[in-house]
């Protein structure tokens, strides 16, 4: 895993032609999620990001593979520019608690 500012707040891992964006438990923002009724684990981050992308960039979802676990968020793709777009999108609210809460309330919800 490497840290690259272009992919903040994620760490990246390369495997062949796939690049993975990873967020591990040290970056989950547990406390913000817990205040809003979620665990804040990898599955909650998957739900937040996948629902966000379904609304904002629906054409992108088919090029992505989510493979999160409780202690790690993971999305991978061969499309490096798409992963950079996702990183920028998440970075736009990741460090701002008010924006993060708004995104949790809107996108981290379970489907019907």
CATH code: domain of residue 13:
3.30.1360
Q: Which distant-in-sequence residues (6+ apart) come within 8 Å of 98 by Cβ?
A: none
Q: Is residue 17 part of a domain?
A: yes
Q: Is residue 95 part of a domain?
A: yes
Q: Is residue 63 part of a domain?
A: yes
Q: Strand order of the sheet with strand 2-3?
A: 2-3, 11-15, 18-24, 72-77, 65-66
Could you give the angle at which helices 80-94 and 97-107 cross, rounded to 10 degrees?
120
Q: Is residue 24 part of a domain?
A: yes
Residue numbers of the domain that contains 76:
2-107
Q: Tens-of-pLDDT digits for all 112 residues of the chain? A: 667 788 999 999 998 999 999 998 888 999 999 999 999 999 999 999 999 999 999 999 999 999 999 999 999 999 999 999 999 999 999 999 999 999 999 999 876 4
Q: Is residue 112 part of a domain?
A: no
Entry pTM = 0.91
User: At 77, is the secondary structure helix, strand, or coil?
Assistant: strand
Q: Is residue 85 part of a domain?
A: yes
How many domains does the structure of the chain reveal? Answer: 1
């Amino acid at each position: 895993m490497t840290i690259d500012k272009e992919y903040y707040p994620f760490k990246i891992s390369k495997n062949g032609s796939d690049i993975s964006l990873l967020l591990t438990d040290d970056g989950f923002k547990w406390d913000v999620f817990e205040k809003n009724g979620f665990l804040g684990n990898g599955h909650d981050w998957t739900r937040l990001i996948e629902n966000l992308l379904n609304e904002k960039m629906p054409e992108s979802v088919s090029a992505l593979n989510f493979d999160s676990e409780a202690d790690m968020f993971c999305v991978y793709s061969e499309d490096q520019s798409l992963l950079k777009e996702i990183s920028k999108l998440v970075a736009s609210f990741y460090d701002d608690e008010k924006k993060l809460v708004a995104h949790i309330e809107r996108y981290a919800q379970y489907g019907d």
